[in-house]
Each structure stands twice: as structure tokens, then as C-alpha cells.
């Protein structure tokens, strides 16, 4: 059994490392496995049938709609307004700009459902402000990677939609399951960034006092102390709230509508598109009809790429089941009689390692067929495990070599990738802490869904 699993993983990683598109890579590997077990003709007909079935569901309608909503939000300027509002409330001291970045990224993630959109948009907005406040590149990377990793947990999450589709779980309940862990994650990120930045500024002041930096000259000329913001907030708090109001209302409408049963997750995606388009066209007036066509085409391209991964991942999951790999894993676990706590640790280590090499959707499509039988056997709560899996997806987004958020930060901020990885150690530590909290307090993930 061990050789089968190891061989499958090695071939899987080699296919992804070949450089071909992920969806095609997953499909080729799936077809190879089906051919080995069923023969060429049967594999061909089964593959085509499963490829069609993979998209023949109303659940996945939410994905292209949320992608379109994310593209609209990026063009409306909501991200800049959210950051300005958070900066007005939290940015009086320089140590508050890091938490302001995380909070605004969290709200932005709650509108887009995408870590990559949140990281790229908030990176363009926040990095110049953080540099103006003399943040080090490592701390800037920590702030943006922390904020960018929230998109997989804070609803609406595209990964949650796929998890619900594969496990036949309510997407609305999954959205609610991620809300409290997402808020706790924002608080932990903000606290950790405040501590780290205050320590860094204390070192700057110490160096300045010893005459080891040019900051002494700046202080002699009457500049502000290193603990204070470089410039006063550009607007009052009421003005900032007024500017950010329409952006703040977007996640409220989406989540409240799902929680109260007004609309389903797919309908919520459609509501988000209509809302964001209306705000961009008629309230902020930052979206023109010409720009709207460009947004639609860009969203269609991204949706097609995701659809390719969905098709390849679905067929691969079916082929893995045909090969009895999940059954062999489960038989091994039953024979060893592992304790629940030990198995939880092992599963998280496996997910962490997989996340280092796989992008988020590929990880979900590989992990569910392999691990979901284990979840059922151990009697773990499916919604609780979904949050555990999504936190590991977050870890994958900010850990090399496949950490997509890391490369976005490096490119946007012109920061060396080694410095970005160093900065990402802070959010990685926070995510591991939250995983431990969820082990001892699973109600963090299960309480809100139980009320629906």
C-alpha cells in the first residue's frame, strides 16, 4: 500500500513540475490511471463522462460569479477606500499600519473570496504606505502575506465552494464555519504584527540614540519620533467611513443573506455581482461600459482556467478511488489503531507538505478523495475538518516553493523572495497556533453552522 501511495504522489508532483497547465496535468494523470485499470477505450469514455459531470452542478455556478465580483471590486477602488478607513482608525502610530493592512485585507477577502486578488490589490495599496512609514521589507511581507492568506478562510471562499461540492456539504454552513476562525485569525495577525513592529521601531530608536543611523539627523531637524506616523491621517474618521461604506456593506449583505436564509451561496454570488457593478457604475463611477467589457473578458479567462482545474481534479479524484488508494490508506489506519489526536497531527503534517507543492484547488481535489474516508471513519465533524483543511490551504499559499502569495508580494513590492519568505514566517506561526486552538476548541468552527 505504501509503495502505491508514494508512487502516486511522486508521479503527481512530476506531472505538475513539468510546467504544463495544472488542469491538463491533472487530466493526463487521471487518464493514465484510468487506462491502467480499465483499458484505453473504457478510460476514454469514462473520462469524458466524468469531465462533463464535474461541471454539471449548480453549486459551481458561484465560482465564476464570485470571480466576476472580485474583478469588479478591484476596478471600483473599494480596496483603497477600505485601507484608508482602516488607516484612519488604526494608523495614528506606525505600528498600527500593519494591523490596518490585515483588517482591510480581511474585509476585501470577504468581498472577493480570493487570496490572490486580495494580496495583489492590497499589496499595491499598502506597500507604498508601509514603506513611507519606514517598515522593513520583511515586516511588509509579513503584513501583506498575512492579509493575503485570509481569502481561503473568510467567506465567501472559492475553496469552500469546491469543498462543499466534493463532500456534498452545505456551502452556506461552510461559509459560516470560516467566519469566527477568520476573525480570530485577523486578531492574531494584528497582535503579532503590532508586537513585531514595536520591537523593530524600538531598535530603530536605540540605533538613532547611539548615532548609528541617519534618523538622528532627521530628529534634530524636528521630525516626528519613530513611533509616530510620518503624516497625519488625510481625512476624518467619519469621512473615511463614508467613503468606505459601500465596500463595508458588500460582505454584510452577502453573509447576512446566507445566514438568514434569504439566498443560497450561488444566489449570493449573483447578488455580489449586481451590487459591485451598481457601485462601480453609478456610485463611485470608476467603471465604464468599456471597462466593464474588459472585466467580463478577464473574468471569463480566469473562470475557464479554474474550470480546467475542476475538470482535471474531479476526474483524478474518481481515478484515485478506482485505484483503491483511499481504501488502502483507511485500511492501514484501521490496522494501526491510531489515536484521534495523533492522527490529527499526522493529517495536518501531510496537508502542510502537500500545500508546499500544490496550489489550493489542486490540493483540495487531491486531499478530499485521500482523506475524506479517514474523516468519516474517525467520526470527525465534516465542517470542522473543512476549516482545518482551509487553514492548511492558507499555509500552502505562503510557504515555498509553490506559495503563490509570496511571489505576488515579491513582484509587486520589488522585494527579494528570500526576504518575503522570512517575513511570511510570522503568519505561518499564527496559522499553526490557530490550528492548535481548533483542535481544543472545535466550537470555533461548528457553532455558527449549528444555528442555521
- In the block, residue with C-alpha cell 475538470: 311
* Mean pLDDT in residue range 292-312: 89
- pLDDT recorded at residue 211: 65
* Mean pLDDT in residue range 220-244: 59
- pLDDT recorded at residue 231: 47
- Alpha carbon dihedral 19, 24, 27, 28, in 10-degree steps, equals -60
- pLDDT recorded at residue 228: 41
Backbone torsion region of residue 352, taken as left when φ is above 0, otherwise alpha when ψ lies between -120 and 50, otherwise beta: alpha
**C-alpha span between 142 and 131 (Å, rounded):** 13
Backbone torsion region of residue 187, taken as left when φ is above 0, otherwise alpha when ψ lies between -120 and 50, otherwise beta: alpha
Average pLDDT for the chain:
83
pLDDT band at residue 420 using 50, 70 and 90 as cut-offs: very high
Pick the range with the lowest mean pLDDT from 137-141, 188-192, 343-347, 446-450: 343-347
* Mean pLDDT in residue range 367-374: 85
* Mean pLDDT in residue range 255-269: 86
60-91 exposure pattern, b = at least 16 Cβ within 10 A, e = fewer = bbbbbbbbbbbbbbbbbbbbbbbbbbbbbbbb
Residue 120 has pLDDT above 90, yes or no: no
* Mean pLDDT in residue range 242-261: 87
| Residue that wins the pLDDT comparison between 325 and 428 | 428
* Mean pLDDT in residue range 61-68: 88
Q: What letter does residue 234 receive in the DSSP assignment?
A: S
286 within 8 A of 280, measured Cβ to Cβ: yes
- pLDDT recorded at residue 4: 57
**C-alpha span between 195 and 434 (Å, rounded):** 18
| Residue that wins the pLDDT comparison between 187 and 159 | 187
- pLDDT recorded at residue 277: 92
* Mean pLDDT in residue range 347-368: 81
Residues of the chain with pLDDT > 90, as a percent, come to 25
* Mean pLDDT in residue range 422-444: 93
- pLDDT recorded at residue 393: 86
- pLDDT recorded at residue 428: 94
CA nearest neighbour of 166 among 372, 348, 24, 12: 372
Residue 225 has pLDDT above 60, yes or no: no
Residue 440 has pLDDT above 70, yes or no: yes
pLDDT band at residue 188 using 50, 70 and 90 as cut-offs: very high
Residue 53 has pLDDT above 50, yes or no: yes
- How many beta carbons lie within 10 A of that of residue 289, not counting itself? 7
Helix (H, G, I), strand (E, B) or coil at 273: helix
pTM assigned to the model: 0.82
Mean pLDDT: which of 72-86, 285-299, 343-357 is highest? 285-299
- pLDDT recorded at residue 230: 43
Q: What letter does residue 283 receive in the DSSP assignment?
A: I
Q: What letter does residue 280 receive in the DSSP assignment?
A: I
Mean pLDDT: which of 152-156, 182-186, 196-200, 319-323 is highest? 182-186
Residue 221 has pLDDT above 60, yes or no: no
* Mean pLDDT in residue range 339-345: 87
- pLDDT recorded at residue 396: 84
Residue 434 has pLDDT above 90, yes or no: yes
- pLDDT recorded at residue 92: 67
Strand partners, 93: 228
**C-alpha span between 356 and 365 (Å, rounded):** 15
* Mean pLDDT in residue range 392-413: 84
Pick the range with the lowest mean pLDDT from 14-18, 249-253, 275-279, 352-356: 14-18
* Mean pLDDT in residue range 275-279: 92
CA nearest neighbour of 301 among 125, 119, 51, 64: 64
* Mean pLDDT in residue range 335-360: 82
Which cell numbers in the block locate residue 294?
474588459
- pLDDT recorded at residue 234: 53
Residue 187 has pLDDT above 60, yes or no: yes
Which cell numbers in the block locate residue 417?
523572495
Residue 193 has pLDDT above 70, yes or no: yes
Residue 219 has pLDDT above 50, yes or no: no
| Residue that wins the pLDDT comparison between 112 and 28 | 28
247 within 8 A of 107, measured Cβ to Cβ: yes
**C-alpha span between 129 and 143 (Å, rounded):** 12
Residue 94 has pLDDT above 80, yes or no: no
165 within 8 A of 57, measured Cβ to Cβ: yes
Pick the range with the lowest mean pLDDT from 75-89, 133-147, 232-246: 232-246
Residue 17 has pLDDT above 50, yes or no: yes
* CA distances from residue 229 to 39, 197, 401, 444 in whole angstroms, order as listed: 68, 13, 35, 36
104 within 8 A of 211, measured Cβ to Cβ: no
Amino acid at each position: 500500500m505504501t509503495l502505491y501511495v508514494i508512487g502516486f504522489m511522486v508521479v503527481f508532483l512530476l506531472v505538475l513540475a513539468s510546467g504544463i497547465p495544472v488542469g491538463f496535468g491533472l487530466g493526463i494523470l487521471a487518464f493514465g490511471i484510468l487506462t491502467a485499470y480499465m483499458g484505453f477505450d473504457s478510460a476514454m469514455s469514462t473520462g469524458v463522462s466524468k469531465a462533463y459531470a464535474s461541471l454539471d452542478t449548480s453549486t459551481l455556478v458561484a465560482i465564476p460569479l464570485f470571480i466576476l465580483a472580485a474583478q469588479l471590486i478591484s476596478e471600483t477602488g473599494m480596496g483603497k477606500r477600505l485601507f484608508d478607513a482602516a488607516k484612519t482608525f488604526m494608523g495614528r502610530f506606525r505600528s498600527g499600519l500593519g494591523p490596518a493592512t490585515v483588517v482591510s485585507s480581511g474585509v476585501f477577502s470577504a468581498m472577493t473570496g480570493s487570496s490572490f486578488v486580495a494580496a495583489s490589490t492590497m499589496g499595491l495599496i499598502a506597500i507604498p504606505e508601509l514603506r513611507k512609514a519606514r517598515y522593513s521589507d520583511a515586516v511588509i511581507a509579513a503584513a501583506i502575506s498575512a492579509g493575503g492568506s485570509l481569502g481561503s478562510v473568510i467567506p465567501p471562499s472559492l475553496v469552500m465552494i469546491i469543498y462543499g461540492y466534493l463532500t456534498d456539504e452545505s456551502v452556506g454552513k461552510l461559509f459560516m464555519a470560516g467566519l469566527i476562525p477568520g476573525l480570530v485569525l485577523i486578531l492574531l495577525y494584528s497582535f503579532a504584527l503590532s508586537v513585531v513592529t514595536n520591537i523593530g521601531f524600538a531598535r530603530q530608536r536605540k540605533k538613532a540614540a547611539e548615532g548609528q543611523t541617519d534618523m538622528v539627523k532627521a530628529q534634530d531637524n524636528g521630525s516626528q519620533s519613530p513611533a509616530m506616523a510620518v503624516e497625519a491621517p488625510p481625512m476624518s474618521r467619519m469621512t473615511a467611513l463614508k467613503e468606505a461604506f459601500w465596500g463595508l456593506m458588500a460582505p454584510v449583505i452577502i453573509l447576512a443573506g446566507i445566514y438568514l436564509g434569504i439566498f443560497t451561496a450561488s444566489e449570493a454570488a449573483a447578488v455580489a455581482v449586481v451590487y459591485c457593478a451598481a457601485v462601480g457604475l453609478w456610485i463611485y463611477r470608476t467603471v465604464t461600459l468599456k471597462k466593464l467589457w474588459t472585466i467580463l473578458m478577464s473574468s471569463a479567462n480566469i473562470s475557464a482556467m479554474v474550470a480546467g482545474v475542476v475538470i482535471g481534479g474531479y476526474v483524478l479524484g474518481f481515478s484515485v478511488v478506482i485505484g483503491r488508494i483511499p481504501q488502502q490508506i483507511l485500511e492501514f489506519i484501521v490496522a494501526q489503531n491510531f489515536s484521534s489526536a495523533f492522527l490529527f497531527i499526522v493529517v495536518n503534517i501531510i496537508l502542510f507538505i502537500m500545500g508546499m507543492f500544490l496550489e489550493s484547488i489542486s490540493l483540495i481535489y487531491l486531499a478530499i478523495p485521500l482523506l475524506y474516508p479517514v474523516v468519516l471513519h474517525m467520526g470527525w465533524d465534516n465542517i470542522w475538518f473543512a476549516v482545518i483543511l482551509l487553514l492548511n490551504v492558507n499555509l500552502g499559499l505562503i510557504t515555498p516553493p509553490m506559495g503563490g502569495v509570496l511571489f505576488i508580494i515579491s513582484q509587486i513590492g520589488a522585494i527579494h523572495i528570500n526576504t518575503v519568505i522570512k517575513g511570511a514566517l510570522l503568519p505561518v506561526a499564527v496559522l499553526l497556533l490557530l490550528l492548535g486552538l481548533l483542535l481544543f476548541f472545535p466550537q470555533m468552527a461548528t457553532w455558527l453552522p449549528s444555528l442555521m
